[in-house]
Amino acid sequence: MQKTGMLIVLSGPSGAGKGTICARLLERNPQLKLSISCTTRLPRPNETEGVDYFFKSDAEFMKMAEEGEFLEYARVFDYLYGTPRQYVKDQIKKGHDVILEIDVQGALKVKDKMDKGVFIFIVPPSMEELKRRLKKRNSEMEEQALKRFATAYLELDFIEKYNYIVVNDEVEKAVKKVECIITAERCRMERNRGMDEILKGGKSL
């Protein structure tokens, strides 16, 4: 039976560890495909078109936005970033499970357009731990860390918009929980329509 894939959205406040969990999932599960974003910034020396990003000019990006080709997009400092709708749909149609790591605001925009996706909210074990993680980042100034911490409180108000919540107290445990969620979602009845006819027809899966 030819199965379609599904969209898996990992989201949560900055410092919750969703990027680390996403990287581990991709290492351990080669059947997962990372959603590739479009960006208007220039490629770095080690980046490849269609692998790291789809690099677009400002005019190309805005034309795509006007034509509704993004599941979501936003300006981050001086550049635009967006999730291309057609790329995600093409990968899902081919049977790949596509994983998208994104902030809360972007995840809610994606859910408005692809509500059959699997939306997982990654949280730290406590807000005190989140503050510690943010302060520990060498790249974070104290003021920036506190701003991200304040934003995290606001983002927690949207937790009920998600299908699942995973506490990232230990990365390995959190990764296994997400893998269990993915396995369970693959077994959902609505993702396996037609299996009864295959079994009745005596065909093997």
Question: Residue 153's pLDDT band (boundaries 50, 70, 90)?
Answer: confident
From CA 53, how far away is CA 42, in angstroms rounded? 10
Question: Residue 5's pLDDT band (boundaries 50, 70, 90)?
Answer: very high
Residue 172 in tokens: 């390995």
Q: Where are the domains of the chain?
A: 7-35+96-200
More confident residue, 138 or 57: 57
81 Cβ partners below 8 Å, 6+ apart? 37, 38, 39, 40, 73, 74, 75
pLDDT given at position 133: 79
pLDDT given at position 57: 97
- The tens digit of pLDDT for each residue in 10-32 reads 999 888 899 899 999 999 999 89
100 Cβ partners below 8 Å, 6+ apart? 7, 8, 9, 10, 35, 83, 88, 107, 110
Percent of the chain with pLDDT over 70: 91
Report the predicted TM-score, pTM, of the whole model to 2 decimal places.
0.85
pLDDT given at position 2: 54
Mean pLDDT of the region 142-158: 82
**Helix 18-28 vs helix 171-186: crossing angle, to nearest 10:** 60
More confident residue, 1 or 47: 47
Identify the DSSP state of 190.
Answer: G
DSSP-assigned beta bridge partners for residue 99? 8, 34
More confident residue, 85 or 142: 85
Q: Provide the CATH topology of domain 7-35+96-200.
A: Rossmann fold (3.40.50)
Answer yes or no: is pLDDT of 195 > 70.
no
Question: Residue 56's pLDDT band (boundaries 50, 70, 90)?
Answer: very high
When the pLDDT of each residue in the chain is averaged and rounded to a whole number, the result is 89
- 15 phi and psi, to 5 degrees? 95, -5
Q: Which of 11, 6, 8 is nearest to 166 (CA)?
A: 11
Question: Residue 4's pLDDT band (boundaries 50, 70, 90)?
Answer: confident
- The tens digit of pLDDT for each residue in 88-110 reads 999 999 999 999 999 899 999 99
Burial class (CB in 10 A: 0-12, 13-18, 19+), 34: middle
Entry field: residues in the chain: 205
CB contact at 8 A, 159 and 121: yes
More confident residue, 196 or 78: 78
